[in-house]
Amino acid sequence: MAVVFKLWKFAAMAVGGMVGWLVAEFRPTFPLIAVAIIFILYDAYTAFKLDKRVHAAYPEKTDRKKAKFTSFAFGKVVKQTIPKRLWLIVLAYLAEHWVFIHMQVPLSYILTGVICFEQAWSILESESSCRPEAEHRFWKALQQVMVDKTARHFDVNLDKLKEEKDDSVD
């Protein structure tokens, strides 16, 4: 019995030492990871708000049972998107500190910047999509350069919806 207890104690000490080493080794990546997570979660929030705007603008065309932003979609963000992006940051940090030692290239910072830029672009696409005409011109100007994500909430082309809406107004 005493041998089993000592084995568990040794295993717990080994795991604790490994966790301590990991925390100390990757501590410089924690702020980068926090920033990336904030951007990813805010992108998910803007997708949720877009889903609400699409349903408000086209209530007869959208089925709430088949909403594009669901708890499953949010679960996918948490279970797939965040871990993939965080592993990229950690791998960039490893390459930066163990492979490109003499080059002084901040790969983890560059990669975090790319991830944040990708998320910021998606945030702006979501924010500028499906906006009423009465809202600020800034969103309309963004739509000249960005994709309108409204079409993703339907099984039809957005141009067809716009034509139907224009026909009903006339």
Note the pLDDT tens digit of each residue in 88-131. Answer: 999 999 999 888 888 888 999 999 999 999 999 989 888 888 77
Q: Give the per-residue pLDDT at 140.
A: 76
**CA 56, 60, 61, 67 torsion-angle sign:** positive
Please tell me whether the overall predicted TM-score, pTM, comes out greater than 0.85 for this model: no
Residue 151 has pLDDT above 70, yes or no: no
Which of left, alpha, beta for 147 (phi over 0: left; psi -120 to 50: alpha)? beta
**Tally of CB atoms within 10 A around 73:** 14
Query: Position 81: which residue type?
Result: T
Number of domains present in the structure of the chain: 1
Mean pLDDT for the chain overall: 81
pLDDT band at 153, cuts 50/70/90?
low
Quick: pLDDT tens for 22-55: 889 899 999 999 999 999 999 989 888 888 888 8
Higher pLDDT, 82 or 164: 82
Separation between Cα atoms, residue 50 and residue 44, nearest integer Å: 10
Range of the domain at 100: 2-169
